Structure 1
Amino acid sequence: MNAAPIAAARPRNRRQLILEAAGRVFSERGYHAASMEEIAAGVGISAAALYRHFPNKYALFAECANVMVDRLAAVLGEVSSEAGPAEVLGAVTRVAVAHRASGGLYRWEARYLDHEDRRLLRVKFARVVGRVTEAVRRSHPADEAVRQDRPSPGGVRQDCPSPDAELRAAAALGAIGSITTHHVSIAQRRAEEVLLASALRVIATDPAATVGRAHSVELPAQPVPRTRRAEILAAAVPLFARDGFAKVTNGQIAEAVGLVPSALYRHYPNKRDILVAACLQAAGLLAQAVDRSLEGVTDPHDAVVALAAAYVAYSFEHTALTSVAEAEVVGLPADLQEPLIRAQRDHIAVWEQQLRLLRPELAPRSARVLVHAGFGVVVEAGRRLRWRDTPEHRSAVTALVVGALGLG
């Protein structure tokens, strides 16, 4: 008698496998473009089997958005409460690099979470920032004492802890978290070394330090809407930034411009064309900012500082446009992404060239990882400052970017 076939055993970690596959798909395609069928295929199961674990795409997405911050909280729970920044940030770096393909959802796609889920995610991330902040304060007590004794702009002495430690902690986490937002191919160990060194330099940086050209940046002005097409674009960008591209309707855009929805089609065939125009405008403004920042600059150190100052100024001045371009491009078809990706690569190549002239010991891939780390510093430091555009904030973030890049 023949033995009955042995049924394939269900993996004990199937839920974890689903979350990993879903995180990759959501990160690569965006929440609304991702499908349960595509996620199921990535795990090697049917969509019906996937629904036995998660009732709908939103439930799966909400759990995925929390995976990275939950991992960070778990690994920091294993680190001594008296540990220094190297140990604390080292633990964070290992987690971020190990899960770079699926760990970036909290940065952009979380805007599609419901209000309460978004609030809970912010609370969790605040605890992680708080843990890093404690390590920063312990490692730089003299700096904190000076800042606490520093008068406020109104001349009143500060009695509460300085916000500089929180800013540096958030910026350091931004440098590390940047690994989840790009595809630079680099060995895991080397990525950990580059990012940890960058993050440690960030927390050792005085945000009040003067780094050169931070106050002399002249950005190209955003075009004044003089046509109906330009008015539609200008009205759509803040809506996309606030609610996410997929949630904004043609009716909302039309109402913001004072049109009926059908009138939009005379200027843009569909909503996606408005998004493409926004991304192209962002790329054009940034390219102009880079060109202006490097006019007459020949020294590599001055060039990198000028690039940092220009990028920071651009991010503060065009916050909505920048966030839309960076967050929504993944949802575009490949042919529409191509010119935007090419513009981004050209931009990074300028940074890489100047950084390697200044730091010739850096391999090209390490330099690119560092450039992205600098961008990550801008994102998280800017968020920590609520994107309030002041010369002091621009200067502080520029100093942190320069620190992240290792410009001693």
Structure 2
Amino acid sequence: MTDTYGLVPAPVCPSDPVTAGPAAATRPHNRKQLIVEAAGQVFSERGYHAASMEEIAARVGISAAALYRHFPNKYALFAECADVMVDRLVAALPPHAGLEDTLAALIHVTVAHRSAGGLYRWEARYLDHEDRRLLRGKFEHVVDQVSSSVRRELGEKGDRLRAVAALGAIGSITMHHTSIAQRKIEDLLLASAMKVAAADPGAAAGSAVLVELPVQPVPRTRRAEILAAAVPLFARDGFANVTNGQIAQAVGLAPSAIYRHYPGKVDILVAACLQAAGLLAQAVDRSLHRSADPREAVVALTAAYVAYSFEHNALNSVAEAEIRGLPADLRRPLILAQREHIAVWEQQLRQARPDLDARQARLLVHAGFGVVVEAGRALRWQDTPGNRDTVTALVTGALTI
């Protein structure tokens, strides 16, 4: 699930074997913990495949050889980071607490480990089956406790979905860099998560705003066919795990024929991200065209984004998950497109809620996006009018309009 949260400090492990000389006297006893913290940040920033052991070692201020004395390979370090992250959430759960106190505790630890907490949302798919199963079990424990609190205090209907969505709002803070004082972040996230938990998913049935989504282009050229075949493969297996041979096979081409249309696999990914940005921009423009007032505009934006996320789920997932692994020069125009999209939301939300400043509005917009990811996954992205209505209601709760 979407995935998202920061955790308890890893247990302090014994330092490296003591060696003679002054260096041994300054070697920190919690080096393994420092490595895990630094690695979580690098994996969150760059993605599993783009991160390197050398970069992680440099972040800690040690050599790669010293890093390998603690972890035999990158995967072992990655698995440890993911495990520590969820352990922090489990450890933060207060026993016998009410919903507000439970959410506040989870928010506090997530914000404290914000820079490393984004690892779970997209990168956990690279864990092997057993490690993924163990991680999911721990996260389910967190969901169960939040769901129980929602059920006791706010009613049974949709309690688990509301719990997952509230956690999505909280975890969103790990996916962006908006800078606000920590206390203010925690207050905003708590208000947002409580509104999500209190939303009635059934109340929106049949009341969704009419959404006109742009139609994904029908592939009429070989280049377009390659792109259409690559996107579901990237979404299912991750960009780094898909080969040109697999893409070529899906289109009925020889692997070498791919290069006549795209210089490399990364160019296919860039084309997918650009297509996603274009479709989303069109959906936003259409949604705002009919809006009569600021609140209506925010609801229309929300409905359009939810519909887009369901209808173009594979394309959107690829664009969200893989952009961080792109080279900087290829990533830049895509980041600019993302920022323009956020700016539209920010402007509309501030008109509907004049009490918010720009950073506060941006934080809540990201909280809404986090709800879409988590609730969508919980619903297995089954694209029905009812599911769209439900997620739209949860997102408007996160925006606290």
Q: 1:329 to 1:6 in 2, by over 3 A?
A: closer
Which of 85, 95, 103 aligns to 1:68? It is 85
C-alpha separation in 1, matches of 2:300 and 2:280:
13
State the alpha-carbon separation in 2 of the partners of residues 256 and 20 from structure 1: 40
Give the Cα–Cα distance (whole angstroms) in 1 for the partners of residues 253 and 82 of structure 2: 37
Superposed CA offset, 1:185-218 (max 9, x none):
1111111111111000100110112399625111
Matched ranges for 1:149-188 at <5 A: 164-188=158-182
AA aligned opposite 2:132: R
Which piece of structure 1 moves more, 4-13 or 100-109? 4-13
* 2:383 aligned to which of 389, 395, 403: 389
Q: Which amino acid aligns with 1:51?
A: Y
Q: Deviations over 1:120-153 (max 9, x none)?
A: 211111111111001101112xx32xx4xxxxxx
Other structure's SS at 2:178 match: coil
Q: Check whether the contact 2:206–2:386 (CA below 8 A) recurs between aligned residues.
A: no
TM-score (norm 1): 0.91
- CA shift in 2, pair 1:215/1:364, >3 Å: closer
Specify whether residues 6 and 28 from structure 1 end up closer, same or farther in structure 2 by C-alpha distance, changes over 3 A only.
Answer: closer
Aligned to 2:311: 317
Q: Read off the aligned partner of 2:212 and give its amino acid letter.
A: E
Report the equivalent of 2:71: 54
Q: Deviations over 1:129-188 (max 9, x none)?
A: 111001101112xx32xx4xxxxxxxxxxxxxxxx0000000000000000011111111
| Identity across the alignment (%) | 75
User: Could you tell which deviates more after superposition, 107-116 or 251-260?
Assistant: 107-116
Q: Which residue of 2 aligns with 1:117?
A: 131
Q: What is the Cα deviation at residue 335 of structure 1?
A: 1.1
TM, length-normalised to structure 2: 0.93
Which residue type is aligned with residue 46 of structure 2?
R
Q: Distance in 2 between matches of 1:49 and 1:101?
A: 24
Give the CA deviation at 1:311: 0.4
The unaligned stretches of length 5 or more in structure 1 are 148-163
For the pair 1:202 / 2:196, whether they are aligned, the reply is yes
Structure-1 residue corresponding to 2:95: 80
Q: How does 1:84-99 map to 2 (within 5 A)?
A: 84-99=98-113
The aligned counterpart of 1:259 is: 253
| 1:272 paired residue number | 266
CA distance in 2, matches of 1:329, 1:346: 16
Alignment of 1:29-40 (within 5 A): 29-40=46-57
Structure 2 equivalent of residue 229 of structure 1:
223
Residue 308 of structure 1 corresponds to 302
Q: Is the 8 A contact 2:206 2:385 kept in 1?
A: no
The correspondence of residues 121-160 of structure 1 with structure 2, limited to 5 A, is 121-140=135-154, 143-144=155-156, 147=157
Letter in 2 for 1:26: F
Q: For residues 28 and 6 of structure 1, do their structure 2 counterparts lie closer, same or farther at Cα, with a shift above 3 Å needed?
A: closer
Q: Match for 2:337 among 343, 347, 353?
A: 343
Determine if contact 1:312/1:398 at 8 Å carries over to the other structure: yes
**Does the Cα contact within 8 Å between 2:206 and 2:389 map onto a contact in 1?**
no
Count of aligned residue pairs for this structure pair = 381
- Is the CA contact (8 Å cut-off) linking 2:209 and 2:300 kept in structure 1? no
Q: Is the 8 A contact 1:62 1:113 kept in 2?
A: yes
C-alpha displacement of 1:86: 0.6
The amino acid that maps onto 1:29 is: R
Letter in 1 for 2:397: G
Question: CA shift at 1:379, angstroms?
Answer: 0.3
SS in 2 for 1:102: helix
1:379 is aligned to 2:373: yes
